[in-house]
Every structure is written in C-alpha cells, then in structure tokens.
C-alpha cells in the first residue's frame, strides 16, 4: 500500500510580529522586528530587559473570562492559534462535516505553564496550601492546549503533546504527519505554544548567559550569523498547522498551502545546551528528512534555519548545512526569521513552518535582518536584511533543542 500524502490546509499564529497570518507575514517580508523592552513586568533589575512579547492579542475573542482565568497564557496562545487554523482550513464552516474520531491534536510547549506555576508558588508561600487554586494543575500542564481544544470542538482522534525543548513544535508536526500517513487520523491540529517571558525563566536564561544584552537597541538584538551576535532573544507566541490527508482535503475543496514531504529527527548525544562544533546531529537530521521526502539536496531552494543568534549554534548549523548540501550549500537560500520574531522556544518551529510555507506560496525568501558583518565561517546566502523574490518549490524548516534534540521538516509546493 502506498503511503498517504499529507498536506497543509490551515494556519494560525500568535507572535511578536503579529497575531494573524497576514500581519505576521507582512512584518517578515518587510523585515520588521517584534523585539522591544519588556512591558509585562519590571525587568529593570535584570541584565537582559528585552523580549518578543505579544502585543496585539485579545484573549476574549477565543475564551470567556472564566476560561481564560483558569488557563495559563501559553494555552491562550496555543488555543487561539489552533482555532484560527481550524477556521482557516474551512473545517469549522457551517456546511462542513467531519468525523470527530478522525481528527486529533499534537500541540506541545517547551516549558509549559511556568507563569501559572510561579503564581501558585507565591500563593503557597504567602498563605499555605489553601491559597493554591483547584485549576493550578489542569491550567498549567503542557497537554492542555490539545485537551481543551478537543473538548471545545469534539475532536476525538489522537491527542498528544510532545515536549522536546526548542524542537517541540517541529516534532509535534512531524509526528502528527506520520499519524496521518499511517492511517491513524485524517486531520491533525499540530504545532506549539509558549509563554516564557517570566521572572524565573528570564533569570535562568540570564544565568546561563544565553540571551542578548543589547537592551538599548532591542530591534537589533537578534542578529543570526553576525559577528556581533551575543545570544538569543526570548519570545512568546504560538504556531499551528492543520495537517490533512491529501484526498480528504481535495474531496472537501480545501485550500492547500503545501505538502509535508519529509520529517527527520536525531540526537546530538553531546551536551545539555551546546551543539557539537561540527553540527553532526543537525546534519544527520536534515539528511534523514531529505531521505524521508525522497528529495535530493540540490533540489532544496530554501532553509528556514534554527538560527538563534548564539555564537556556537549559528556556526554549528552553518557547518551542518555545508556537510548536508556540499556545493549546493552556497546556492540554497538560508535565513532566520528569529532575527525578527526572537526565539519562541517550543513554538518556534510552528511559526517558522508557517513562514516556510508562505514563502513557497508567494515565492518570497524571508530575510535575516541585522546581518551586517557575517562572522568567520558564516558565509552562506543568508538573505541579508531584505526579502527576495524566488521560486521556492522545496523548503526545509529546522529546529534544534536543549538536550541535543533535533527536528527537520521538508515542505514541498503542492502538485497532484
């Protein structure tokens, strides 16, 4: 039996550059940064005082006051992006019918409900156990994006929340696609969400010396591959795709953004936070994804890189691309949308998959902004500072996480 094909029929986004597909894509195409001074809490005492916060999101469009109060902000973002993606897919149209047992969720978060955990801890310390509310646990656990979504929309297919740090969304999407390929579902709502700009999260990343301290110029802080990069910028948001079996999508006349052609995973088996210098795990991950897609390296037009703006990570990924693509590495366009969005951790792969698919749809290569002086060894075509028109048939989206976990998705322009 031939393997079932998986296509993308809906998208939803909540991000520092916009919380609709059109506004976010317009910002990316025009090189506008969503990084600014932190407004949600007083960060004046911190070494890093910048982040990619979501500023145009209205939770009341999606949840009642009672519901939103019970759920952590990462669930707000993930649920909203999922609802928008379902609406975009047409599955929620009045004339739409679907088998609820054939639609599932794969929606994760790298950190989960840390803000709710901090609040509950403070309540306990101030007043004891009775001050911790009954919705503390269900309102903060990672799988509750899909859990709440399935309850609201009667989605009775597989429901899971893979948690793999910064690879979370990519792994959820890839594994969801495989469930469709092997007949376990016809539709999967897949991606990731994050609300990580909290006091303890920021403090932990600052202690690890992982984040940029370019506080006086927030929009210039995330600068992948640039000589002056000094760490990543922490951000919040969500990115969700509707993945659907091809014939199921065609039979209901769905709009198809592209095809999920391949998926790869690997482990560095090297270090808790740092990649190996030669990027071996990342290279192996991309090769696995290309093999799964039955795609030759020279056929890839664009790579949406992990590209976090860290000194070690950017160089290791560059070397991994050279290892994987050989001479073609200098011909394929590579860019980092994190230069504009910052790093959304477990949601990063979701928003970057969206930008990869929109690049295929519109024939546009997203830029890497703030790339003024590429550092030694970072000598690929990083689409510096300005978006570029190009025919994009095949794109790769990379996500690499703490613990040495790697994920790559191959997207292809859809043709029958």
Question: What rounded mean pLDDT belongs to the chain?
Answer: 97
**CA 330 to each of CA 296, 322, 366, 383: distance values in angstroms, whole numbers, following the listed order:** 15, 8, 17, 12
Of 232, 251, 270, the last residue of a domain is 251
Q: Cα(318)–Cα(377) distance, rounded to whole angstroms?
A: 8
Task: Tell me the CA end-to-end span of the chain in Å, nearest whole number.
Answer: 18
Q: Cα(276)–Cα(317) distance, rounded to whole angstroms?
A: 10
| Structure confidence at residue 38 (pLDDT) | 97
| Structure confidence at residue 98 (pLDDT) | 85
For residue 50, pLDDT beyond 80: yes
The answer to whether residues 162 and 22 belong to one domain is: yes
Pull the structure tokens for residue 209: 């010396």
Residues 6+ apart with CB under 8 A from 297: 290, 324, 325, 326, 328
Asked whether residue 1 is assigned to any structural domain, the reply reads no
For residue 162, pLDDT beyond 60: yes
Q: What is the mean pLDDT of the segment spanning 39-48?
A: 95
The answer to whether residues 293 and 185 belong to one domain is: no
Report which of 190, 160, 165 is spatially closest to residue 177, judged by C-alpha positions.
190
Query: Of 2 and 410, which is predicted with more confidence?
Result: 410
Q: Cα(354)–Cα(81) distance, rounded to whole angstroms?
A: 12
135, β-bridge pairs: none
The DSSP code for 143 is T
Report which of 312, 313, 332 is spatially closest to residue 322, judged by C-alpha positions.
332
Asked whether residue 65 is assigned to any structural domain, the reply reads yes
pLDDT tens-digit map of 179-204: 999 999 999 999 999 999 999 999 99
For residue 18, pLDDT beyond 70: yes
Please give the residue range of the domain that contains residue 273: 262-412
Report which of 270, 352, 344 is spatially closest to residue 110, judged by C-alpha positions.
344
Q: In the chain, how many domains are there?
A: 2
pTM reported for the whole predicted model: 0.97
- In the structure, what pLDDT confidence band is assigned to residue 56 with cuts at 50, 70 and 90? very high
| Structure confidence at residue 2 (pLDDT) | 67
For residue 3, pLDDT beyond 90: no
Asked whether residue 296 is assigned to any structural domain, the reply reads yes
Asked whether residue 385 is assigned to any structural domain, the reply reads yes
Catalytic positions: 166, 306, 343
Host H or E run for residue 268 = none
Q: Cα(168)–Cα(355) distance, rounded to whole angstroms?
A: 17
The answer to whether residues 233 and 335 belong to one domain is: no
Pull the structure tokens for residue 157: 């297919």
Q: Which CATH number fits the domain that encloses residue 150?
A: 3.40.47.10
Query: Of 329 and 3, which is predicted with more confidence?
Result: 329
pLDDT tens-digit map of 226-276: 999 999 999 999 999 999 999 999 999 999 999 999 999 999 999 999 999
Of 223, 251, 279, the last residue of a domain is 251
Q: What is the mean pLDDT of the segment spanning 384-413?
A: 98
For residue 102, pLDDT beyond 70: yes
């Amino acid at each position: 039996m031939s393997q079932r094909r998986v296509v993308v029929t809906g998208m939803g986004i909540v991000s520092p550059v916009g919380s609709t597909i059109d506004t976010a894509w317009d910002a990316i195409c025009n090189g506008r940064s969503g990084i600014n001074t932190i407004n949600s809490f007083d960060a004046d005492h911190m070494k890093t005082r910048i982040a990619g916060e979501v500023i145009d999101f209205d939770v009341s469009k999606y949840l009642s006051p009672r519901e939103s109060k019970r759920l952590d902000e990462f669930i707000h973002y993930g649920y909203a992006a999922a609802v928008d993606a379902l609406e975009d897919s047409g599955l929620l149209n009045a004339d739409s019918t679907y088998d609820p047992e054939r639609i599932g969720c794969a929606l994760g978060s790298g950190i989960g409900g840390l803000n709710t955990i901090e609040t509950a801890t403070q309540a306990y310390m101030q007043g004891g156990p009775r001050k911790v509310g009954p919705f503390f646990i269900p309102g903060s656990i990672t799988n509750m994006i899909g859990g709440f979504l399935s309850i609201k929309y009667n989605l009775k297919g597989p429901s899971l929340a893979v948690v793999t740090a910064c690879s979370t969304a990519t792994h959820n999407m890839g594994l969801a696609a495989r469930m469709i390929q092997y007949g376990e579902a016809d539709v999967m709502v897949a991606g990731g969400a994050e609300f990580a700009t909290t006091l303890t999260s920021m403090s932990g990343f600052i202690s690890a010396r992982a984040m940029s301290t370019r506080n006086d110029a927030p929009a210039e802080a995330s600068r992948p591959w640039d000589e002056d990069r000094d760490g990543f910028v922490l951000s919040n948001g969500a990115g969700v795709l509707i993945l659907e079996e091809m014939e199921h999508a065609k039979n209901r006349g769905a709009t198809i953004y592209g095809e999920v052609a391949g998926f790869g995973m690997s482990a560095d088996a090297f270090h808790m936070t740092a990649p190996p210098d030669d990027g071996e795990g990342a290279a192996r991950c991309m090769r696995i994804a290309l093999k799964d897609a039955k795609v030759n390296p020279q056929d890839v037009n664009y790579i949406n890189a992990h590209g976090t703006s860290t000194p070690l990570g950017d160089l290791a990924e560059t070397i991994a691309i050279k290892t994987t693509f050989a001479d073609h590495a200098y011909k394929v366009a590579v860019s980092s949308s994190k230069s504009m969005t910052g790093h959304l951790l477990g949601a990063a792969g979701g928003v970057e998959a969206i930008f990869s698919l929109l690049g295929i749809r519109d024939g546009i290569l997203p830029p890497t902004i703030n790339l003024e002086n590429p550092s030694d060894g970072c000598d690929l075509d990083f689409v510096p500072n300005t978006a570029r028109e190009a025919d994009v048939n095949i794109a790769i989206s990379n996500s690499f996480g703490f613990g040495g976990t790697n994920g790559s998705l191959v997207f292809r322009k859809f043709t029958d």
